[in-house]
C-alpha cells in the first residue's frame, strides 16, 4: 500500500518524520507492506500523488491541494485522506470529496492534553484568573476570592474525546457534569446527558459552560446573546471548539455587562486574531492562541497510532473508527 505524508511547508513543530513513522510501525508489528513517502513541497506532492492510496496531511493542505473538481483526477488511486486535525470544519462543504474516498479525522490524539486544558480552564475561572490577568495589565492588586470546584455544575457541549476528557477531570474534582450532544445516550463521566435540542433547558443550571463540539452548520452561532442570557448571572465560559460556535461580540457584551464572570477561549474569529481586536482587551477575557490540544511530545505518535488503527480496521473489513461523515461534518 502506497502512503504519502504531505507536511505543510515550513512546519517546524509538528511535521511527521520518517523516524516517527518507523517508531509507529514498531508499535504495530501486525501492520506492514507500506511504501511510504514524505514531502513538504510541490515537487514531492506531484511525484507521490498519482500512485498514493493513502494521504496523511493537514486540513490546510487538503484545502489547498484538493479543490473542488480536482479529485479523483490528480490522485486516481487515492482511497483514504487522513487529516491531522480533529475538527474538519475548514473542509466544509465537502463537495470536493468523491464518495468513494474515505475521509478520516484525528479524534483521540487530543484527549490527554485537551482534558488538562479543560480542567485548567475550569480552575482558572473558579479562581477568577481572567479578571486577575486583566488587573495585572493595569498593575492593580485587587484580591478576588474563589471557591473550589466541588459541588458546582459544568455543562459540556460535545462529548467527543475532548469533551469526554473534560468531563472525567471535572468529575474527579467533584463537579456535577451535564453533557449535551446530538444523541442523549449516557456517558460514563456525565451525571446527565441531554440532546442538543434541550440545551436551553440545561443552560440555566450551568455556572460553567464548556464548548467542545465540532463546528457544523448546526453548531454555528450556537451560543448567542439569547442563550448567554439563559446562563446564571456570573457564569463562566470556556471555548475549546471553534470561534464561530459562539457569537463573539455577544460574549464580549456579556462580560462587559457582568452577565459573564470570566471567559477562557482557545479559539477566535479570525485566527490569528489581529492586533486591536476587541477580544484582546475585553476585561475578563483570556485569549489562548489555539494551543489547547496539541502536545508536541505526543501528537505525531498519537496521529500515527490512530492512522494505523484505521488501516487495521480497513484491512479487517471493519468500519474505520475515525471516519468523517460529510453529511454531519464530523
Binding residues for its own copies, rule: CB under 8 A, are 13, 112-113, 116-117, 119-120, 123-124, 126-129, 132-133, 135-150, 172-173, 268, 271-277, 280-281, 286-292, 294-298
d(CA 98, CA 325): 12
In angstroms, the CA 1 to CA 320 distance is 17
Q: Which residue has the cell 463521566?
A: 189
Helix (H) or strand (E) holding 54: strand 54-57
CA distance 130 to 132: 5
Distances 295 to 3, 40, 74, 114, 299 between C-alpha atoms, Å: 24, 21, 33, 9, 5
Which residue's entry shows cell 508489528?
Answer: 29
Sheet with 102-104, edge to edge strand ranges? 35-39, 2-6, 54-57, 80-83, 102-104
d(CA 72, CA 75): 5
Instruction: Report the residue count for the chain.
Output: 330
> Are the C-beta atoms of 118 and 160 separated by less than 8 Å?
no
**Distance between CA atoms of 245 and 267, rounded to whole angstroms?**
10
Cα atoms in the Cβ-side hemisphere of radius 13 Å centred on 190: 22
Amino acid at each position: 500500500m502506497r502512503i504519502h505524508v504531505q507536511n505543510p511547508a515550513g512546519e517546524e513543530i509538528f511535521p511527521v518524520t520518517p523516524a516517527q513513522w518507523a517508531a509507529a510501525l514498531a508499535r504495530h508489528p501486525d501492520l506492514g507492506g507500506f511504501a511510504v513517502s514524505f514531502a513538504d513541497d510541490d515537487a514531492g506532492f506531484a511525484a507521490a500523488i498519482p500512485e498514493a492510496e493513502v494521504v496523511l496531511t493537514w486540513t490546510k493542505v487538503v484545502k489547498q491541494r484538493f479543490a473542488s473538481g480536482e479529485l479523483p483526477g490528480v490522485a486516481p488511486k487515492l482511497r483514504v485522506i487522513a487529516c491531522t486535525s480533529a475538527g474538519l470544519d475548514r473542509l466544509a462543504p465537502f463537495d470536493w470529496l468523491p464518495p468513494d474516498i474515505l475521509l478520516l479525522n484525528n479524534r483521540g490524539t487530543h484527549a490527554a492534553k485537551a482534558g488538562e486544558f479543560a480542567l485548567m480552564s475550569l480552575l482558572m475561572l473558579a479562581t477568577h484568573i481572567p479578571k486577575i490577568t486583566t488587573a495585572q495589565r493595569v498593575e492593580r492588586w485587587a484580591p478576588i476570592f474563589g471557591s473550589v470546584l466541588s459541588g458546582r455544575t459544568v455543562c459540556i457541549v460535545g462529548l467527543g474525546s475532548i469533551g469526554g476528557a473534560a468531563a472525567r477531570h471535572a468529575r474527579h474534582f467533584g463537579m456535577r457534569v451535564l453533557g449535551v450532544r446530538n444523541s442523549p445516550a449516557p456517558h460514563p463521566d456525565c451525571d446527565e446527558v441531554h440532546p442538543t435540542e434541550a440545551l436551553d433547558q440545561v443552560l440555566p443550571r450551568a455556572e460553567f459552560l464548556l464548548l467542545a463540539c465540532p463546528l457544523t452548520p448546526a453548531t454555528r452561532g450556537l451560543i448567542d446573546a439569547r442563550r448567554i442570557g439563559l446562563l446564571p448571572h456570573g457564569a463562566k465560559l470556556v471555548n475549546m471548539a471553534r470561534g464561530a460556535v459562539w457569537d463573539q461580540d455577544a460574549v464580549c457584551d456579556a462580560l462587559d455587562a457582568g452577565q459573564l464572570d470570566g471567559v477562557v477561549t482557545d479559539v477566535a474569529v479570525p485566527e490569528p486574531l489581529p492586533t486591536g481586536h476587541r477580544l484582546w482587551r475585553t476585561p475578563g477575557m483570556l485569549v489562548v492562541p489555539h494551543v489547547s490540544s496539541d502536545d508536541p511530545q505526543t501528537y505525531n505518535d498519537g496521529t500515527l497510532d490512530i492512522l494505523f488503527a484505521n488501516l487495521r480496521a480497513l484491512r479487517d473489513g471493519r468500519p474505520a473508527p475515525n471516519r468523517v461523515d460529510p453529511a454531519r461534518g464530523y
